[in-house]
Amino acid sequence: MPQFYFDYLRWIKGKTELVKYGNVNSYLLQFALLKKTIDLLPGIVYILDYRTQKYLFLSENVQIVLGFTRDEFITMGQGLLLERIHPDDMAAISSKVFRRFMEYSRGLTEKELRNTKFSMNYRTKRKDGSYAQLLQQYYIIAWDKERNPLITLGLCTDITAYKTDSKVVFSVSNYNDKNGLKLATFSESTVSKRLNITRREYDVLKSIMDGLNSRQIAEKLIISQYTVRAHRRNLLDKTKCRNVAELCNYAANNGLI
């Protein structure tokens, strides 16, 4: 099972098992709790297919929040949003947040999954270049037999006026008729500021993550082993890691690769 968001998108796209789409309006009607939230808290409503990265539904007010038209998002898909999320927040979302999301969602029964809301916040760049803080709340509304998410329905709300720090907070809430919507778990991800890693240092780091030793890296990149060792020392110094194992763990947790 892929551990990172972008790896998951590539993997789920190739899945042979298909889930037939229902009528888009039926998805909205199924989740009465979310509809109540939409009525109380206006924001961008969407239905997203993970396999195609296309929006099956997107509300018109996306232009009010982000500056891009609905048609621009429909044409370009989720890629338009992902490429504009702040790099530090994207690093947290693609690794730590996504792992928590998958671990939790795949441990639920289908009934529980239908009544579970996931939430996270992040900074994303508007069309005019300014940043907005978005709160994204979403439900999984279609999944395969292993409960891998295929389609999500969600609401994105502009919380710029209320969110002043840069922490990415991920939370899970469960709903039942007796207790209503209750917070089940949450976590904060504070990712280190993006490091000033050169292109060659990135190539060396990726090769290390692929399990290559210094000689193999030197042959692959057509550089000397001395240069490889120099890049390795620079990477350890920049990340404050003591050894290669810590470096690989740091790179995975902070979205460097």
What residues make up the domain containing 207?
199-253
Domain count, the chain: 2
Q: What CATH number has the domain bearing residue 247?
A: 1.10.10.10
Do residue 76 and residue 121 come from a single domain? yes
Q: Give the residue with greater pLDDT, 5 vs 119.
A: 119
Give the type of residue at 97. V
Confidence category of residue 256, pLDDT binned at 50, 70, 90: low
Question: Is the predicted pLDDT of residue 23 greater than 70, yes or no?
Answer: no
Do residue 183 and residue 203 come from a single domain? no
pLDDT, residue 71, reads 95
Do residue 62 and residue 153 come from a single domain? yes
Q: Let me know: does 46 contact 55? Beta carbons within 8 Å.
A: yes
Q: What CATH number has the domain bearing residue 100?
A: 3.30.450.20
Q: Let me know: does 192 contact 95? Beta carbons within 8 Å.
A: no
pTM: 0.66
Do residue 133 and residue 236 come from a single domain? no
Do residue 150 and residue 204 come from a single domain? no
pLDDT, residue 223, reads 94
Do residue 203 and residue 184 come from a single domain? no
pLDDT, residue 141, reads 92
Do residue 185 and residue 204 come from a single domain? no
Domain ends where: 169, 189, 209? Answer: 189
Domain ends where: 165, 189, 213? Answer: 189
pLDDT, tens digit, 9 for 90 and up, residues 3-13: 788 888 888 88
Confidence category of residue 188, pLDDT binned at 50, 70, 90: confident
Average pLDDT, the chain: 85
Count the neighbouring beta carbons within 10 Å of the beta carbon of residue 107: 10
Give the type of residue at 10. R
146 CB burial (10 A radius; 0-12, 13-18, 19+): exposed
Alpha helices in the chain (DSSP H): 5-13, 24-30, 32-40, 62-66, 70-76, 79-82, 87-92, 98-105, 110-114, 199-209, 214-221, 225-239, 244-253
Q: Give the residue with greater pLDDT, 214 vs 39.
A: 214
Question: Is the predicted pLDDT of residue 181 greater than 60, yes or no?
Answer: yes
pLDDT, tens digit, 9 for 90 and up, residues 204-255: 998 998 899 999 999 999 999 999 999 999 999 988 889 998 888 777 766 5
